[in-house]
Chain A
Amino acid sequence: MKVRVLYFAGIREKLGRDAEDLVLPAGVGTVAELRVHLRGRGDAWAEALDEGKLLRAAVNQDMAHPTAAIKAGDEVAFFPPVTGG
């Protein structure tokens, strides 16, 4: 299953990338599972996506809960809580 993953703000800076196309292994089917999977890359990934960090996610440009399902072709984004306005 292939998805597009986007990173914004402080997370984008820590990871040194803003987007990537990713083939997900079996067993990665939700936002929370994807976060754990990415954390497995270690170093900056483990730190930026650490369990204790307050993060938000979106699936196909809608705010998504950690339990939200991911399907092939989806656009998934990780970012810090928003600070606009």
Chain B
Amino acid sequence: MKISVQPGDFDVGVEIKNISKNNSIGAVASFVGLVRDVAMTLEHYPGMTERAIAKIVDEAKARWQVIDCAVIHRYGALQPNDQIVMVAVASGHRGDAFAACEFIMDYLKTQAPFWKKEHTPGGAQWVEAKAVDDQAAERWK
């Protein structure tokens, strides 16, 4: 199980290999989020962020078979096309791996304390939370 909140980039291939070292694993599902269009700075709440992600992973483990997983989220200055976040879930079968991966991502968007500030030519502004993200998390209830 790996949870990391870090300024630096990550290698999805390496992370997937690291969570696949168990003979009972038959499926690994992963998601990678990238910066679209504009540069941004990501702020977070050190301590609470890791704790919130750990709680989301625990919730996923209570619902699906999660043999291992990796959740990495970056903070600091990011440029268009940079990787921001990755979630990878290793399970016995693909159904659990897909569902747990999507669940972790949906909850992360509404529960983990990160804030994006976009740097546009017109100035910097904080990104507003989207109702569609709340709805995505709600459907798992």
From A54, A77, A79, A82, contact of B111 by CB (8 A): A82
Residue of A whose beta carbon sits closest to that of B42: A84
Residues of chain B contacted by A79 (CB below 8 angstroms): 45, 113, 115
Bound CA–CA A53/B33 (angstroms): 29
Bound CA–CA A79/B52 (angstroms): 15
By size class, the interface of chain B is: 20 to 34
The answer on a CB contact under 8 Å between A84 and B73 is yes
Number of chain A residues close to chain B: CB under 8 A: 17
Residues of chain B contacted by A28 (CB below 8 angstroms): none
Question: In chain B, residues 107-121, which have Cβ atoms closer than 8 Å to a Cβ of chain A?
Answer: 108-117
The answer on a CB contact under 8 Å between B45 and A84 is no
Binds B, one of A29-37, A41-49, A55-63, A65-73: A55-63
Residue A22 at the chain B interface, CB threshold 8 Å: no
